[in-house]
Structure 1
């Protein structure tokens, strides 16, 4: 044999042995994984308060698994078109697509292309394999081949659809169908099928609840892929897009029983999407202080019941209203933030979550009235002017309404603010959450914290998947914050400030205490006088004393 041919043969043999050794190694590694997990119901998400106490049993307690017989054929076609056109042809790994992706990655010098089949995605989601590396990819391929050997194609696509995330807290196709459309997956029409499959690549961004236009765009892309595969034509696409999409009203789709837990879940959904976390059995460490939350709810309820006594008003104990309507009794909202970090220790969005799911802590923008005085003082002190206690008009005139509003916004208040001297008489508005941020800024020496509900997320094995570091920015000087706090009264170990609007339609309480920065708002949803100014002050002082015990 000629020398060049001999060397070519030897190199080929060596390369073959190396490939065989690598394949054997990864098949042995893949053999360590339990394939039964592929077909198991994904573990539920658990929420803990800041002390590690479970605050809710789970997320997805009513989760249902779909069977292959439940999946409409059109939905399966959409899944093929969107995610894996050769799913029923390849052996789990689309080597042609993988080769194209490899060449592209070499060209880009990065892992920009994945060429993942449905089975590869199922392996990745089941065993939470997210790291982008050659080792991870080779292990994923080996696991994929094992899964294809163990399960049929129909079983694989069913397990895939039962496991993946569809946004808005929905894990699995059945839960998504019920949450978004109020139907079982077997009842979905073609428009709903194509929309659900369309949002898989961006379940948070394209959730129909959050972004119906984006969801329709994704639906259109799925239908275009079906046209390219000659499964439908343009006329069919237009017919499908014309089918009505009726989303379940918010008050009917939520399973939460408190405003705070719903807010935690909303924030969690955003984190999972941004960090691409799809693991099962998540442990979510929240900022909530269960003890303080209960105390705040209890004491606030007591003073409001006292306010209503003998006045003939209906309240949640006596009346139930249709979800989504505006109850006629006195409402409230309260937020407590850790002044240093912005962690939300407690949040109350209304008197009764089951009676009204409207969250007033972030959705009710109400007049501040006399409560605005501390921020007028802070603005004046920030610009080196004198603070005149009890005279916000004279204090504010030294810098004018425009500058006062600008500094108040820096502290966290949202406005709107009148650009006249009426601003100094209390013509400013804010939500309770924004006001709590503004109060925490004063309490924290002028440093404005970013409010949040989730501090850490771990998987079932205890591995940390997400950690949030407090975000704080200097909004005003410490001197300005101290001048504003000087207006507060000292009650026990806390500093308090009460305010109301001239029409007695809104009553507010600010409290800087051991539990953090607390803001309380009291009023009707449809603004109307509550009671006399003296009575409102008495109610707020009563609440201060109760919380100060």
Structure 2
């Protein structure tokens, strides 16, 4: 047998694997090992692995799924370690301030207005009935009291539902997570934000109780139509308190927050009912209601309507004044921090002021004729729905209903008022309409009743006193009325125009107009302070100013009466007598005295025309001045905010205005007037001598008894006084007057300084407004009397010469003791006997033309 070749030495194909069963050639291996020892260097010592090296080695030992899981856990740990220090402080939820509107109320609690984007009424969890709580738990988080903020069971159920149906029918967010998201996070949907939401939710659950979390949630969620929180929603949709809600109503409200527009019972009632019924079913499944209550609720109709609380008092100008002041003192947050402002305005007086102003402006407007329609609409082919849409765009003005004339006959006109309502105006209700009268005439040419309005006219209707409707129009003339309490300046009523909806311009506060002769009393008071008396004679004659021949002021009747007692001069509002008096007193001395009434001297002219009221004042500023006369000589500053409370009901401001003496001025019988009481803790500054205040009240009473304000006598009260004021060409009509408890200023005029027309002086246009208001304000009020203060003496005076007399024909005057022997004042004007001088007349003209022909 031939010997087999040695396999270890055989040559084989490079692709033939070696025969591992053959024995090794020991000698060859040893030789090879020997060669390696001599040819290869010794390996260096291995360096220790880094963290990433060990992490890579560790991951290398794991399979792919475990590797991904480990990386995810690692990333989560890193995210938590980096994010945790920057998370917001969840303790801030304990002191969260919900956005609430700024609410303005009258002194007697009537709602005037609400300002703010959000409607909200936060309530404590204890005030929320279990029925309401259960309705929200049934739809939002039935395991709320079981989980720790993140409900893994609920999330798993939502995931399975999504994988099964392909629709997101169930949510995985708990109520705690929604609170976290609403208060701390943005609405973006990212993985990072979701992780932060989970972390924050766990912190919230540790920091707050379940009840605290639920309270935050139910007060924060949005219900549509600017309503936030369950209490505001119950009021908005059902006009109910939370404890008055039924099962059906609670379930309906619980279904809104998920989709406030889609599930809204007002804008989408069908979808809202579907959502309500689903929640009722969940409430039955969870045992919150039994089958009987479920069936009743399921069959209940949808009664949700927008029940917005309307203002209870029409005082838009006061409301805007409050809003402006709150922004000035508390910044932009004042509108959303739930402040509650109580004003000094009294509901019944504010209503009386608003009604009186509107009536006066409407009467003036009617006296001057119908101006025609506000607009003309082509009604051809227009349906009632289209007419409704058009009328909805027309500005709403109180007491003036807009309507479209749809037909006219000889018997009258048919008017469409909207929503299917049609009325007919007979010819008698249209007969007053005529072209705007010429200012120099009382009546313009009358139209036929059938021609007063035409088809397509947009007109205004007013409820007639005897029932039915009558043609009217929005007054173009402006007006203002303000009434303050003379003791402390509290604004009791204020109206800055016919309607705040029509114009926001507040004529009572922001307007500056010439007060005309209503300013004269302050000049007369300055003269009394300088030594003149009510008996002093004044020169009612032309004034000559050297170097100023162009200024030629005249009296309203263009007559000169010569020497005239101060009392009569003021009652008849003699311009020339007032100018001569100011010239005698001295302009600078008079200005210094006028400062005591709170007037800004920069608003007053530095010249003799100041006696005629050519400065510029607002009605409320004029009221401030007259209050000094009305309260016995004290300067009080008008104010309108009595108290401010924050969102938690804490008083943050309470007015403590300077007050006049309460028991030393007007009296009613044996008691003081309504301002009686203790001496004020914050006394007002004594601006003028109380004796002068008494004398001025007496002089202003003469205006009512025998002067330009005699129309006020129809009130049949002896305790009212005042002064008329009319500016050049009858562009402004004023009446400023007072009683023990009211200082009231009435004004009428055009915003563009247009002429009011002849016969519309302060003794008619403005005084009519003043009388109408004071009639209501003084109803059932006892008559107030004014006793002379110490230091006054009674003197019988010759009515023609102003000197003391014993004749029974003399009149009684109260003068200061120091003036007892100087009745004619520092610059006495003497007459030899009874005034026989005939009045100097000038050429009559249709209307005054010079700047200072003021009444």
- C-alpha separation in 2, matches of 1:372 and 1:351: 25
> Aligned pair in 2 of structure 1 residues 313, 148: CA closer, same or farther (>3 Å)?
farther
1:289 pairs, out of 346, 350, 363, with 346
1:335 deviates by 1.5
Instruction: Determine the structure 2 residue equivalent to 1:49.
Output: 106
Instruction: Determine the structure 2 residue equivalent to 1:307.
Output: 364
Does residue 331 of structure 1 match 2:478? Answer: yes
Q: Determine helix, strand or coil for the equivalent of 2:614.
A: coil
- C-alpha separation in 2, matches of 1:147 and 1:475: 62
Instruction: Determine the structure 1 residue equivalent to 2:490.
Output: 343
- C-alpha separation in 1, matches of 2:493 and 2:581: 33
Does the CA contact (< 8 Å) of 2:480 and 2:497 recur in 1?
A: yes
1:379-432 residue CA offsets vs partner (Å, 9 max, x unmatched):
112333334121423432331222223322331234632222222233222111
Instruction: Determine the structure 1 residue equivalent to 2:725.
Output: 499
- C-alpha separation in 2, matches of 1:304 and 1:537: 15
1:351 deviates by 2.0
> Aligned pair in 2 of structure 1 residues 534, 264: CA closer, same or farther (>3 Å)?
closer
Instruction: Determine the structure 1 residue equivalent to 2:500.
Output: 353
Instruction: Determine the structure 2 residue equivalent to 1:477.
Output: 689
Q: Determine helix, strand or coil for the equivalent of 1:361.
A: coil
Instruction: Determine the structure 1 residue equivalent to 2:141.
Output: none
* Structure with higher RCO (Cα < 8 A, 6+ apart): 1
Does the CA contact (< 8 Å) of 2:101 and 2:118 recur in 1?
A: no
Does the CA contact (< 8 Å) of 1:303 and 1:543 recur in 2?
A: yes
Does the CA contact (< 8 Å) of 2:106 and 2:112 recur in 1?
A: no
Does the CA contact (< 8 Å) of 1:494 and 1:548 recur in 2?
A: no
1:434 deviates by 1.0
> Aligned pair in 2 of structure 1 residues 352, 386: CA closer, same or farther (>3 Å)?
same
1:496 deviates by 2.4
1:261 pairs, out of 304, 315, 319, with 319
- C-alpha separation in 1, matches of 2:362 and 2:615: 28
- C-alpha separation in 1, matches of 2:685 and 2:370: 44
Does the CA contact (< 8 Å) of 2:725 and 2:761 recur in 1?
A: no
- C-alpha separation in 1, matches of 2:496 and 2:117: 24
Instruction: Determine the structure 1 residue equivalent to 2:241.
Output: none
What is the correspondence of 1:128-143 to structure 2 with a 5 Å cutoff? Answer: none
- C-alpha separation in 1, matches of 2:335 and 2:206: 25
Instruction: Determine the structure 2 residue equivalent to 1:92.
Output: none
2:583 pairs, out of 392, 397, 400, with 397
Does residue 444 of structure 1 match 2:656? Answer: no
1:484 deviates by 2.5
Q: Determine helix, strand or coil for the equivalent of 1:486.
A: helix
Does residue 407 of structure 1 match 2:593? Answer: yes
- C-alpha separation in 2, matches of 1:508 and 1:535: 8
Q: Determine helix, strand or coil for the equivalent of 1:509.
A: strand
Does the CA contact (< 8 Å) of 1:328 and 1:524 recur in 2?
A: no
1:515 deviates by 4.8
TM value normalised by structure 1? 0.53
> Aligned pair in 2 of structure 1 residues 61, 483: CA closer, same or farther (>3 Å)?
farther
What value does the CA root-mean-square deviation take over the aligned residues? 4.1
State which drifts further: 264-273 or 504-513.
264-273
Consecutive unaligned residues in structure 1, runs of 5 or more: 1-29, 65-118, 124-144, 152-158, 164-255, 321-326
Greater gyration radius:
2
2:738 pairs, out of 497, 512, 523, with 512
What is the correspondence of 1:189-200 to structure 2 with a 5 Å cutoff? Answer: none
> Aligned pair in 2 of structure 1 residues 41, 478: CA closer, same or farther (>3 Å)?
same
Consecutive unaligned residues in structure 2, runs of 5 or more: 1-88, 121-179, 185-201, 209-215, 221-313, 375-396, 403-457, 460-473, 535-565, 570-576, 659-683, 705-712, 776-855
Does the CA contact (< 8 Å) of 1:488 and 1:497 recur in 2?
A: yes
1:42-92 residue CA offsets vs partner (Å, 9 max, x unmatched):
2333322112x222353325469xxxxxxxxxxxxxxxxxxxxxxxxxxxx
> Aligned pair in 2 of structure 1 residues 279, 356: CA closer, same or farther (>3 Å)?
closer
1:495 deviates by 2.0
Of Structure 1 and Structure 2, which has the larger fraction of its residues in helix? 1
Instruction: Determine the structure 2 residue equivalent to 1:463.
Output: 650
- C-alpha separation in 2, matches of 1:296 and 1:514: 18
Does residue 430 of structure 1 match 2:617? Answer: yes
- C-alpha separation in 1, matches of 2:727 and 2:205: 68
- C-alpha separation in 2, matches of 1:310 and 1:277: 45
- C-alpha separation in 2, matches of 1:402 and 1:312: 46
